[in-house]
Amino acid sequence: MNKKTVKDIEVKGKKVLVRCDFNVPQDENGNITDNRRIVSSLPTIKYLLENGAKVILCSHLGRPKGEVKKEFSLAPVAKELSKQLGIEVKLAEDVIGESAKSLTSNLKEGEVVLLENVRFDAREEKNDPEMARELASLAEIYVNDAFGTSHRAHASTAGVADYLPAVSGFLIEKEIDFMGNALENPKRPLVAILGGKKVSDKIGVINSLLEKVDTLMIGGAMAYTFFKTQGYEVGNSICELDKLDLALELMEKAKQKGVKLMLPVDTKLGKEFDKDTESKTVKCTEIPEGWEGFDIGEETIKLYKEELKKAKTVVWNGPLGLFEFDQFAIGSNEIAKTLAEIDAITIVGGGDCAAAVEKAGVADKLTHVSTGGGASLEFLEGKKLPGIECLQDRA
């Protein structure tokens, strides 16, 4: 990565504003159910503390749409951070108001303040220059370590860099290095696995990957659009009828590029969208009326696993089935376990795919699990991410 990181600047005695991604899931009582994103931010925060910085953290949580809503408060995050760091992390009562100014103005070296949810201010998502300037006035250096929101040009992710020297944290550095190397300088064969609901969500990614990969495996609900393109019936399965020509074009492009495009050969169906629904597995050419496809079948799993065992680099984005329901999580689980066993660089895109490998219990056995869903998707597509573009380049 050709962007400066916290190691490239002097932080001792400086107030450092760090944009993190603390958008963590919670239960109905406000208890954090998955602290992975908080843990991922610790290397940067600890480095700053150990090097004498005065640390000001900020993040969004949920979608409060510019209003102060108690259920989206970062109070549980402050509590978890205090536990993880072994020091008190004080929570400001506002984003850039009196509480934030008071706590940050009196900050000492080795201390941490967490600002309240940046999306409590309606100007955040509009990348309002005035909000960015006010936020910047609290600090002397800006560090972006929120890969999960780096594809958004918001006041706290990109706008603030107009007013402060801006560098990357270790998490963004790690994300860019892993995914960048996997695509630009891969050990081959390079295999990409794409799941998810719609072909339309992944057009750019498929097009980009077809220029780089040796094998592209398709799963998830988007597979049914490819089946329909070939004249097969898909029952009640999700299918984009307006994207049939596009699916055909992508299949043709794979052929022209010499990319092995693998589609499921069988599929596990359900009668209705319910975890206990009646289910059965059929060939992809024989999906009956009234049934809906929710997972790849046993024969597809076998074929995909055989192909993955030959791979030296694997990039996976999007679950291969309705992994939230156990009976339709088998495809994603089996592929996740295979990635944990093979001798290859294994990189998993964030969002649902990260949740799927967590559920399979193999996240710690993979080379890298991204913290960003939409961001990793746009990065794979080759798009420039505003929250990274705004950072200072290395000379």
**Known catalytic residue: 19?**
no
Among residues 36, 197, 198, 359, which one is catalytic? Answer: 198
Among residues 4, 14, 15, 37, which one is catalytic? Answer: 37
Q: What is the pLDDT of residues 1-55, one digit of tens each?
A: 689 999 999 999 999 999 999 999 998 888 999 898 999 999 999 999 999 999 9
Quick one: pLDDT at residue 204?
86
CA angle, residues 120, 122, 128, in degrees to nearest 5: 125
Mean pLDDT of the chain: 94
Structure-token pair, residue 59? 């993040």
**Known catalytic residue: 235?**
no
Task: Spell out, as residue ranges, where the chain has pLDDT lower than 50.
Answer: none
The fold for domain 6-171 equals Rossmann fold (3.40.50)
178-381 falls under which CATH superfamily?
Answer: Phosphoglycerate kinase, N-terminal domain (3.40.50.1260)
Q: Do the domains spanning 6-171 and 178-381 agree at the CATH topology level?
A: yes
End-to-end distance of the chain based on CA atoms, in angstroms?
Answer: 12
Alpha helices by DSSP H, the chain: 36-50, 75-85, 98-105, 129-136, 170-184, 203-210, 223-229, 244-257, 298-308, 330-341, 352-360, 373-381, 386-389
Among residues 66, 97, 110, 374, which one is catalytic? Answer: 374
Q: What is the pLDDT of residues 235-281, one digit of tens each?
A: 999 999 999 999 999 999 999 999 999 999 999 999 999 999 999 99
Structure-token pair, residue 254? 């794979």
Q: What is the pLDDT of residues 116-131, one digit of tens each?
A: 999 999 999 999 999 9
**Known catalytic residue: 374?**
yes
Domain ranges of the chain: 6-171, 178-381
pTM for this model (two decimals): 0.86
Cα separation of 282 and 299, whole Å? Answer: 10
The half-sphere exposure of 248 on its side-chain side, counting CA atoms within 13 A, is: 9
Among residues 351, 372, 373, 387, which one is catalytic? Answer: 351
**Known catalytic residue: 37?**
yes
Residue 231's alpha-carbon distances to 23, 29, 382, in angstroms, are 42, 49, 32
Q: Tell me if residue 294 falls in helix, strand or coil.
A: strand
Quick one: pLDDT at residue 1?
67
